């Protein structure tokens, strides 16, 4: 994949910004990984309170234990195996568990690529000016749980990278009138659904809305809608059996999500304070608290102005959808958003901590707003640019201060 100068620029900007928080995270816990032991791991887990994010990738890269739900994340363990081998080599050479550095490198690469894919969608496929595309990318990565997903050791940053790759490919094909080949569709489904199974639905929607009705024949439905998921489940069962030595594998992630399907607040409060609230801008109270420990399901903002920010973002998002109503790419993004709403707000999967799923859907917001920026009405365009700039500066400043204070807080031994 060749990158042009603009893509390198935005990628490096995001890499540097995310790298600050990755550095703080590593420095906070590095002492516990210098001489790795079960005791140190237990101390680490007692101190790692990052909302609902789980640092299980560290465990997989350290000793390759089956800690993820193998049926929800069918290929994740296999994809992390090269990182485990790399860490073993580094451990042998340095005498230190380098899992934090290995995983940090992976997350940084995913953040870099995610910014490039989003920039391509905005600039090449929608037609937003270069610097306004950069502004939209910065706006997106300033979202609370998008920023967290880019440096915390969980699978959401990987999912974000894969989903933006799929949307970028779909937008490119829709723009030049081409279609997904069967081989590319299969590869994207297996890779993306292999990280998180539900991601495969988004790939199927992308292929259908790009290829059109020709996709809906028995052969294509069988080979792209059935076969990849059967293969993933077979791989998951085989991997689970091998890793657990014949014991039925039940992952912590799935149990954690199932425990939170019991709604502890009204849908309205969850939408305002969590889905469009905490997802995009953190609350100052109970910063990165976990609903399974002490954090209430619903936390109110301390400043009324934060509800104004939420309203501005939601308004630009909805108006952007209307402006892009003639675009197949916009309708694909709306379909992704509707799927997320159905899964988390209607079916109520993980509803009590719905904000940790932000990376699976929030890219729809800057893509929708992009259609506002390509309107011929200059007044609308520059009002949108002004609001974007103000909100982006606020998000990065606000979250930067909160995360710096949180990541430099002393450990409890």
Look at residues 288, 350, 302, 264 and name the one whose alpha carbon lies nearest to residue 149: 288
Cα–Cα distance for residue pair 305/286, rounded to 1 Å: 19
Q: pLDDT grade, residue 246 (50/70/90)?
A: very low
Residue with tokens 């309107």, as numbered in its chain: 375
When mean pLDDT is compared across 84-88, 119-123, 213-217, 247-251, the lowest value belongs to 247-251
Rounded to two decimals, what is the model's pTM?
A: 0.93
Decide if 393 is inside a domain: yes
Decide if 13 is inside a domain: yes
Average pLDDT for residues 299-316, to the nearest whole number?
95
Cα–Cα distance for residue pair 179/207, rounded to 1 Å: 8
* CA count, 13 A, side-chain hemisphere, 352: 20
Decide if 413 is inside a domain: no
pLDDT at residue 307 tops 80: yes
How many structural domains is the chain composed of?
A: 1
Cα–Cα distance for residue pair 174/329, rounded to 1 Å: 8
2-45 per-position pLDDT tens digit: 899 999 999 999 999 999 999 999 999 998 888 888 888 999 99
Average pLDDT for residues 158-173, to the nearest whole number?
96
Say what angle helices 305-323 and 364-373 make with each other, to 10 degrees.
Answer: 70
How wide is the angle at C-alpha 336 spanned by C-alphas 334 and 339, nearest 5°? 110
User: What tokens were used for 133?
Assistant: 């595309």
Contact yes or no for 178/52 (Cβ under 8 A): no
Whole-number pLDDT of residue 6: 93
Cα–Cα distance for residue pair 168/160, rounded to 1 Å: 12
First CA to last CA across the chain, in angstroms? 46
394 or 227, higher pLDDT: 394
Residues present in the chain in total: 413
356-386 per-position pLDDT tens digit: 999 999 999 999 999 999 987 889 899 999 9
Contact yes or no for 142/18 (Cβ under 8 A): no
Decide if 412 is inside a domain: no
pLDDT at residue 248 tops 50: no
Average pLDDT for residues 377-401, to the nearest whole number?
95
When mean pLDDT is compared across 35-49, 237-251, 333-347, 392-406, the lowest value belongs to 237-251
Average pLDDT for residues 391-404, to the nearest whole number?
97
- CA separation (Å) from 100 to 214, 265, 307? 46, 36, 36
Nearest-Å Rg of the Cα atoms of the chain is 21
Cα–Cα distance for residue pair 92/103, rounded to 1 Å: 17
199-235 per-position pLDDT tens digit: 999 999 999 999 988 777 888 888 888 888 899 988 8
* Residues of the domain holding 13: 5-407
């Amino acid at each position: 994949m060749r990158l042009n100068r603009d893509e390198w620029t935005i990628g490096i900007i995001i890499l540097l910004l995310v790298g600050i928080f990755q550095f703080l995270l590593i420095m906070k816990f590095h002492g516990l990984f210098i001489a790795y032991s079960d005791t140190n791991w237990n101390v680490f887990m007692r101190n790692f309170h990052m909302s609902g994010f789980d640092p299980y990738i560290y465990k997989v890269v350290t000793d390759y234990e089956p800690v993820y739900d193998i049926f929800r994340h069918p290929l994740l363990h296999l994809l992390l195996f090269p990182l485990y081998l790399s860490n073993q080599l580094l451990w042998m050479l340095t005498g230190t568990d380098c899992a934090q550095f290995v995983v940090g490198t992976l997350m940084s690469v995913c953040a870099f690529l995610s910014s490039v894919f989003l920039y391509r969608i905005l600039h090449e496929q929608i037609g937003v000016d270069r610097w306004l595309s950069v502004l939209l990318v910065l706006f997106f990565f300033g979202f609370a749980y998008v920023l967290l997903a880019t440096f915390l050791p969980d699978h959401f940053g990987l999912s974000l990278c894969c989903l933006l790759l799929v949307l970028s490919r779909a937008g490119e094909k829709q723009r030049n009138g081409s279609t997904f080949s069967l081989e590319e569709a299969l590869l994207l489904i297996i890779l993306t659904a292999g990280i998180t199974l539900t991601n495969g639905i988004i790939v199927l929607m992308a292929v259908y809305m790009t290829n059109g009705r020709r996709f809906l024949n028995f052969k294509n439905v069988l080979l792209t809608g059935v076969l990849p998921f059967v293969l993933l489940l077979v791989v998951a069962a085989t991997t689970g059996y091998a890793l657990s030595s014949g014991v039925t594998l039940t992952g912590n992630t799935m149990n954690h999500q199932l425990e939170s399907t019991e709604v502890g607040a009204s849908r309205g409060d969850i939408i305002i304070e969590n889905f469009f609230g905490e997802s995009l801008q953190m609350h100052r109270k109970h910063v990165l608290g976990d609903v399974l420990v002490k954090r209430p399901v619903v936390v109110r903002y301390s400043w009324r102005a934060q509800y104004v920010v939420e309203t501005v973002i939601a308004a630009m998002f909805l108006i952007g959808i209307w402006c892009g109503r003639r675009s197949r790419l916009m309708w694909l993004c709306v379909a992704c958003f509707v799927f997320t709403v159905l899964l988390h707000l209607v079916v109520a999967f993980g509803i009590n901590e719905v904000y940790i799923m932000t990376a699976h859907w929030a890219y729809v917001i800057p893509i929708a707003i992009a259609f506002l920026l390509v309107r011929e009405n200059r007044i609308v365009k520059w009002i949108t640019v002004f609001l974007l700039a103000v909100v982006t500066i606020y998000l990065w400043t606000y979250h930067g201060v909160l995360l710096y204070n949180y990541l430099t807080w002393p450990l409890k031994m």
